[in-house]
Structure 1
Amino acid sequence: MLRINFLKTPMDVATMEETVAFIETRIDERRFLQHVVVNVAKIVNMQNDSALAASVKACEVINIDGMGVVFGARFLGLDVPERVAGVDLFHELLAMSAKRDFPVFLLGATEEVVTKTVEVAKAQNPNLNIAGFNDGYFWDDEEAVVKKIRESGAKLLFVAITSPKKENFINKWQDKLGVDFVMGVGGTFDVVAGKVKRAPQWMQKAGLEWLYRVIQEPRRMWKRYLVTNSKFIWLLLKTKFRRL
């Protein structure tokens, strides 16, 4: 996969098919692979959060999640053919795991949401081997959860915790997890469980998923997106005109 650097952030230019194939090969080889996706908010936060930046840069696969990043990269002259959305990759990897009999572990969200996610995942992939699951509220005893994951025998671990907690947790414990592949999936469990609706396809393609989130949760989301989107545009413009 081709790696580029965009706003001080390394990222891989790859299609969904290429990403899944690469992950499957690494699991077959029993070579640990840490995966992350980057979006506008994460790129903005990485500018001043050195721990988050280090955790992201430690990953061997860094996919582009979010059309804002795709459009921004193209604005700076970088060739990015498509994005690999985290929620879509999650579904593809579950299907691959069911086909290959790779056991998976789901970590994060509330107990209700992660339990529902397990139910939906099994309904969509009847042959899926879910080695275990746990909610995301375990910070008083991280070691116990790490042990639970390691003893489950899972090959793939999906971590549905907000940034930068999930990136830092994965980076901190990667050698003790006992899995071959780990991926931070953010709010994916909320979408799979039906707690949060995903934006329509036309809004996804137009880079307006952030607006859909604001419409769904205006009090919680409007300030976050106003700040991060404004900073992202400013970073793009500074970089663009510095090159001219």
Structure 2
Amino acid sequence: MNERIAAKDAAQERITLMGCDVDNLSMEETLGRIEGFIASGRPHQHVVVNVDKLVKASRDPELRRIINECALINADGMPVVWASRLLGKPLKERVAGVDLFEALMRRAGEKGWRVFLLGAKEEVVGKVAETYQRKYPRLVLAGWRNGYWKGEHEEAEVARQIRDSRADLLFVAISSPKKEQFLGKYQAEMKIPFAMGVGGTFDVAIGKVKRAPVWMQKSGLEWFYRFLQEPRRMFRRYFIDDMAFVWLFIKEAARGR
């Protein structure tokens, strides 16, 4: 399949949901697309959209532009999948960022892909590196670094460090919209075939944050489990900021009618 046909097929699989584009792909289809990105050697940026990201993008045109220009956009969150079905644009399934990260780390160990880990505190990212080197002995870690820096000069140094590592995969565990802005600004310069923001995945990967039971994940209640773990920190996000998602859904449904 040539690149023009591949691009056409990719466009046909992409839907627009509440102002943001989303690729209608299963987990296996997503992994196949990523493998093609790595084989090409050209830079590609990935993003997941969930309730929080859709709400932020509705208020931030620059964030929405960065999301929509990404080479691969997955839906991470059952409310987003349910909304797509109610709006007549059914997504195949949720592709959770934490599950995609795990699948890619395993595949990197199998295929010899070079991995760079960026984000979180030094002790956290270091423990992630240690955990996965033990889990997948053939995994090649091109480097890792914490997610804290000051000013544009230090930010540019971080981008150069990643470029010089010659990584195939870059996982960025810093908060939104900082990670989208960093990748949008430096991805072409870093020349990483696949760059992915992973949010709080590093904390889950080392057991610092416990993931919800599978039945809660499938029921769309993973957010509530997360709230129970850190109620003071997560209350505003889930019960105030994210309530705007309901209004976004109502407006889109009204436009559809």
Fold-level match, TM-score > 0.5? yes
Alpha-carbon distance between aligned partners in 2 of 1:167 and 1:116, rounded to the nearest angstrom: 24
Quote the offset at 1:178 in angstroms.
2.9
Partner residue, 2:106:
95
CA contact (8 A) 1:40 1:228 kept: no
Alpha-carbon distance between aligned partners in 2 of 1:78 and 1:242, rounded to the nearest angstrom: 14
SS at match of 1:47: helix
Cα 1:237–1:112, aligned 2, differ >3 Å: closer, same or farther? same
1:133 aligns with 2:144: yes
SS at match of 1:68: helix
Quote the offset at 1:186 in angstroms.
0.8
Q: Which amino acid aligns with 1:183?
A: M
**Equivalent of residue 88 in structure 2, options 51, 69, 77:** 77
SS at match of 2:124: helix
SS at match of 1:84: coil
Quote the offset at 1:228 in angstroms.
3.3
Partner residue, 1:155:
168
What is the CA deviation profile of residues 19-63 of structure 1, one whole-angstrom value per residue up to 9, with x for unaligned ones? Answer: 111111121121221111110000011001122112111201001
Alpha-carbon distance between aligned partners in 1 of 2:157 and 2:243, rounded to the nearest angstrom: 40
CA contact (8 A) 2:42 2:191 kept: no
SS at match of 2:16: strand
Q: Name structure 2 gaps, 5 residues minimum.
A: 1-9
Alpha-carbon distance between aligned partners in 1 of 2:256 and 2:193, rounded to the nearest angstrom: 41
Alpha-carbon distance between aligned partners in 2 of 1:208 and 1:192, rounded to the nearest angstrom: 20
Quote the offset at 1:224 in angstroms.
0.9
Q: CA RMSD in A?
A: 1.2
1:9 aligns with 2:20: yes
**Equivalent of residue 199 in structure 1, options 212, 234, 245:** 212
Quote the offset at 1:168 in angstroms.
0.3
Partner residue, 1:44:
55
CA contact (8 A) 2:173 2:197 kept: yes
Partner residue, 1:113:
124
Alpha-carbon distance between aligned partners in 1 of 2:255 and 2:112, rounded to the nearest angstrom: 51
Quote the offset at 1:149 in angstroms.
0.8
Moved more, 83-92 or 226-235: 226-235
Alpha-carbon distance between aligned partners in 2 of 1:220 and 1:48, rounded to the nearest angstrom: 22
Partner residue, 1:186:
199
Partner residue, 1:220:
233
CA contact (8 A) 1:32 1:181 kept: yes
Quote the offset at 1:165 in angstroms.
0.3
SS at match of 2:143: strand
Quote the offset at 1:84 in angstroms.
0.6
Identity in percent: 50
Q: Which amino acid aligns with 1:168?
A: Q
CA contact (8 A) 1:114 1:193 kept: no
What is the CA deviation profile of residues 125-174 of structure 1, one whole-angstrom value per residue up to 9, with x for unaligned ones? Answer: 11100010000002331111111111112111110011000000000011
SS at match of 2:196: strand
Partner residue, 1:20:
31
**Equivalent of residue 190 in structure 2, options 172, 177, 199:** 177
**Aligned structure 1 segments of 4 or more residues deviating by more than 4 angstroms:** none
Alpha-carbon distance between aligned partners in 2 of 1:223 and 1:26, rounded to the nearest angstrom: 37
Partner residue, 2:4:
none
SS at match of 2:240: helix
1:29 aligns with 2:3: no
Alpha-carbon distance between aligned partners in 2 of 1:45 and 1:149, rounded to the nearest angstrom: 28
Q: Which amino acid aligns with 1:186?
A: G
Q: Name structure 1 gaps, 5 residues minimum.
A: none
Alpha-carbon distance between aligned partners in 2 of 1:115 and 1:73, rounded to the nearest angstrom: 38
